[in-house]
Structure 1
Amino acid sequence: MPLNSNIIANADDFGLNASVNKAILFCFEKEYINSATLLTNTPGFEEAVQIIEDNSCIINVGVHVNLADCRPLTNVPARLLNADGTWSLEQTNNIFARFSRQEQKALLQEIHAQINNALQHGVPVSHIDSHYHLHTLPSLNGLFLQAARHYQLKLRLAQTYREGSYLKYWYRKYINQKLIDNGLNYTHKFETVALFLANVQARPAGEKVEVMLHPTFDAAGDLTDHFDKPTMQNWINYIRQLQNV
């Protein structure tokens, strides 16, 4: 039994490496997920593209824009990079970051290049999000909005639970409303698996929700979530309950 159409279970990090690629294909085959976002500047990208081409069960593929690690596809100002030419997460994942016009132009070109890399490899891109949720940061959110409008793609919402900070909560509400006002959102909410499962019984009928997973196989060959191990098992248990109904 496939997931209900109002639930988007998205596997982030497609293309990260061979283990993640194998796990994401497995999850599509088992109908644990119905969406994935593809990293296009990572070692496993070419393999992921071939997997997409060879397997019709893989649907709803987006681009997981990566300004966090590995090397950029374009010439990016050195200030945004580590000494080895990889992205400096310290510079890009900074809520107080201020980028010059030149840096903003370079970052937008890189976002475009990563989307173009998927399109040029024949991937039918349906949406975009970002590695480490960098698209929600004040210094980068506007660039992602521009890219989404340019390519006529949908963009992932920010999570809106409080996390102990009302300021963060209201900021995320604000940027989500900008997405909605521009017609760029593809769900009503974006949640972790834990938050989704905690509220599954009380969810309004027809509310469209995206949940995030990071499938991989561990050293023992078991399917897991490479950010939070219990997440994958909790999700599989939920899907199996649906399949047994």
Structure 2
Amino acid sequence: MSNERLVIINADDFGMCHATNQAISRLLEKGVIDSTSIMVTCPWVLEAAAFVKQNPKTDVGIHLTFTSEWEHYKWGPLNSQLSTLIHEFGYFPAATETVVANANPEEIREEAIAQIEFALRMGMDLTHIDNHMGSIYHVTEILLDLCETYRLPLRFSKLSGMFLQHPRHQEMVKLAEEKGVLLLDHFEMLPFSLPAGEKASYANTKETVIRTIKALKPGLTEIVFHPSRDTKELKAITDTWQLRSFEYEVFRDKEVIRLLQKEGIRVVTWREIRDQQRSL
């Protein structure tokens, strides 16, 4: 393996709400980040899709969604007839564990295809596949079938990161190689919660980002974060609003931007990885 350190910086949850759309759009417009993942089942997806249409070079992946985690702000499947994917009121369940325990794999496949096709019909040139809250990584064959069919790489890491805890990790890596699906070497996601007794602050978030960047290993790493603007809407949706707003501000910080250059880290895009996969 080359000793070069490559990084994709990806903003998740595009389409989730207006505050998130504003943050991600501004980061993309400023060229601070090049990659995002869209949730096509969410109420604000049309605003996100309009941005992508106006900015067709936007690097956008499909954030396959099967959970709806907030108490008072919900979304459900594009196909409402898929009964094992929803709770009593027709929304996705809040927890990944519920999907794993109850969802019929073929209904997962059908809904995933519906979400991908919806994004394509909206004119998006999808660059990769990933999954909100990791709710469907247990159906490994389905995910890799979708990647093979749509010729898209997958958010799944081979050498480090939370995906190494997947019970079928080595099998997943081997099957991806057989199907010609490209994966990450490493994966990093900024935390949603803090250690007990530690308060959210801009300084702490910035320190975490700087530490993560400096510790990047040789190979391809994706850093995932969840930026949003600090608004009344966001505060009404989630108690993680502070961390999300700090993440938005940190990736606009000139010191953080300069650090990538100082460390000799090359920023790449999912589009480059997708195009490499399609050329194999």
1:24–1:232 CA distance, 2 compared to 1 (3 A): closer
Q: Could you tell me which residue of structure 2 aligns to residue 187 of structure 1?
A: 184
Q: Is the 8 A contact 1:17 1:44 kept in 2?
A: yes
Residue 111 (1) aligns with residue 116 (2)? no
How does the TM-score come out when normalised to structure 1?
A: 0.77
**Residues 178-187 or 62-71, more deviating:** 178-187
Q: Is the 8 A contact 2:147 2:153 kept in 1?
A: yes
In 1, the alpha carbon distance for the partners of 2:177 and 2:225 equals: 23
1:131–1:241 CA distance, 2 compared to 1 (3 A): same
Q: Which has the higher contact order (CA 8 A, sep 6+)?
A: 2
Which amino acid counterpart does residue 15 of structure 2 have in structure 1? G
Q: Is the 8 A contact 1:11 1:24 kept in 2?
A: yes
Q: Deviations over 1:150-209 (max 9, x none)?
A: 21111111586577xxx83664455344334433224322212458834635622xx111
In 2, the alpha carbon distance for the partners of 1:28 and 1:22 equals: 10
1:108–1:169 CA distance, 2 compared to 1 (3 A): closer
In 1, the alpha carbon distance for the partners of 2:216 and 2:33 equals: 22
In 2, the alpha carbon distance for the partners of 1:5 and 1:15 equals: 30
Aligned residues: 229
1:43–1:169 CA distance, 2 compared to 1 (3 A): closer
How does the TM-score come out when normalised to structure 2?
A: 0.69
1:62–1:227 CA distance, 2 compared to 1 (3 A): farther
Quote the sequence identity (%): 25
1:51–1:201 CA distance, 2 compared to 1 (3 A): same
Residue 84 (1) aligns with residue 98 (2)? no
Residue 36 (1) aligns with residue 36 (2)? yes
In 2, the alpha carbon distance for the partners of 1:29 and 1:19 equals: 15
Q: Deviations over 1:118-158 (max 9, x none)?
A: 0001011111101102232x2x2222112111211111115
Which amino acid counterpart does residue 112 of structure 2 have in structure 1? I
Q: Is the 8 A contact 1:24 1:216 kept in 2?
A: yes
Q: Could you tell me which residue of structure 2 aligns to residue 123 of structure 1?
A: 124
> Alpha carbon RMSD of aligned pairs, Å?
3.5
